[in-house]
Structure 1
């Protein structure tokens, strides 16, 4: 299977229909044969976050101030699964716990572990956004939690647009351009716990330059729909909260990356009425607007 532009070779069958025809940049092996020496080197850790009703922990053998070659890591989802790897290597090991199964492994690996692993391994910079193609151009919706990003992405998908990402967008620089990588061909508009959602038939196959960001702002149901460019430092403020995994040791590099990105890509604020029946108007305005962006 290919997710986040990465071929995953696994010793377990995934209960998902994942694309095998998309472009890839990396290859990672997933193995259940956790080396005992790797488990023994894990000596310290901390609670990482609470996600999908589960406690998640991150462990290593040293104070967390970076990721080095050979450094051991363990990502634990309490009672479900533990993932292990060494810095600089392209094998991820897993051990299912008492409540874990292939479905749980699939969800936690794809939705949360891989983006974290790929960040620590300096493979991609991730943005929290929904992304689609509009006439071949990659656009991304950003919004605060419960701000309509998933609803907007879902509407565009249902109008026949190609999905790029449901939630987490891997990015990298190629020939001076900021490129977006397709995440996986599943979309969960209503954010049900521990579920990737429904499979989307039209899923991006190639890496494409990021064309524009649309920051969604909810307004009253009878308000006008407006699209205005965000300029200056305000565009930085709009995108920074949507930059995933801003660990302290990564912060200088990531602020530089984001600044460079925003020097070349425009950000627009869209006022979206809180009225589902008006989503068609918003869709049409964004599509029309997207054609006019240089």
Structure 2
């Protein structure tokens, strides 16, 4: 067998060694197996599918044996990254199978498994709810940065990491409820400050190893280079509208559950908008303002 690794609070026992260092000790919620022994009956059960999205320069497809309107126990699934790899699993089971294609490699398998397949799998299996956010710790408490694409959350996350803050997640934050509290799960100890295709980025030694209560959300809003750093609280329905677009995989069959989950989350976690001067030289100022502000949030 290959190395054991922990990703999104899940111990993965694999039959292939991935060229990534995922051997750190952290809190574990689930266990999965990653296997190349794809059952023939599972492959033959796949009968229909659709183009899912385009990502990292490749077409991605999702297949099953039925029209997509939910995820059931025993349902066969296949997630195909054209030319690279096909992942298979059965709903309710905890083994993910893979089959490398002509362009496939251990490196590409690791990237697609960790960065894209697992968040989808955990969502379809009802194990986590994901938010599209960068996240770090300030004095041991997770704070989450949300922003539109190219809105600065990766840059902000990277700056905080380089100031010694603990990384929670580079891009996708897994969450779950524990005794009424909304918990953040560390994703993996890699960060992509610059979005190069099919790379997880550089390894971060200071990585969150326990599940922790989400402390606060910050929506980053680009402002003029000479603007003042302003932090204002978002309230009411605007708070909901701010977070909803950052909820990953809002499948129609999950929508009622998702809306309830998000409403409960926002009843217990405050959300603030940060006007961020669009000037890299002023990141230190923004960093200081956010650190001081987050310490005062109760």
Q: Where on the TM-score scale, by shorter chain, does this alignment land: which range?
A: over 0.9
Task: Work out whether 1:251 is the aligned partner of 2:255.
Answer: yes
Per-residue deviation, residues 28-61 of structure 1 (Å, max 9, x unmatched): 0000000000000000000000000100000000
Shift of 1:19: 3.7
Please say if residues 19 and 184 of structure 1, whose CA atoms lie closer than 8 Å, have aligned partners that are also in contact: no
1:181 aligns with 185
1:105 aligns with 109
Candidates 195, 199, 202, aligned match of 1:198: 202
Shift of 1:18: 1.0
Residue segments in structure 2 that go unaligned for 5+ positions in a row: none
Structure 2 counterparts to residues 166-245 of structure 1, below 5 A:
166-245=170-249
Shift of 1:91: 0.3
Per-residue deviation, residues 116-162 of structure 1 (Å, max 9, x unmatched): 00000000000000000000111000000000000000000000000
Runs of 4+ in 1 over 3 A off after TM superposition: none
Question: Aligned-residue CA RMSD in angstroms?
Answer: 0.4
Residue segments in structure 1 that go unaligned for 5+ positions in a row: none
Per-residue deviation, residues 151-189 of structure 1 (Å, max 9, x unmatched): 000000000000000000000000110000000000000
Shift of 1:205: 0.5
1:70 aligns with 74
- SS of alignment partner, residue 250 of structure 1: helix
Equivalenced residues, count: 294
Aligned counterparts of 2:18 and 2:12: Cα–Cα separation in 1 = 11
Aligned counterparts of 2:250 and 2:47: Cα–Cα separation in 1 = 24
Aligned counterparts of 1:137 and 1:89: Cα–Cα separation in 2 = 33
Shift of 1:282: 0.3
Please say if residues 19 and 185 of structure 1, whose CA atoms lie closer than 8 Å, have aligned partners that are also in contact: no
Aligned counterparts of 2:234 and 2:153: Cα–Cα separation in 1 = 18
TM-score (norm 2): 0.98
2:296 aligns with 292
2:269 aligns with 265
2:16 aligns with 12
Aligned counterparts of 2:293 and 2:37: Cα–Cα separation in 1 = 52
TM-score (norm 1): 1.00
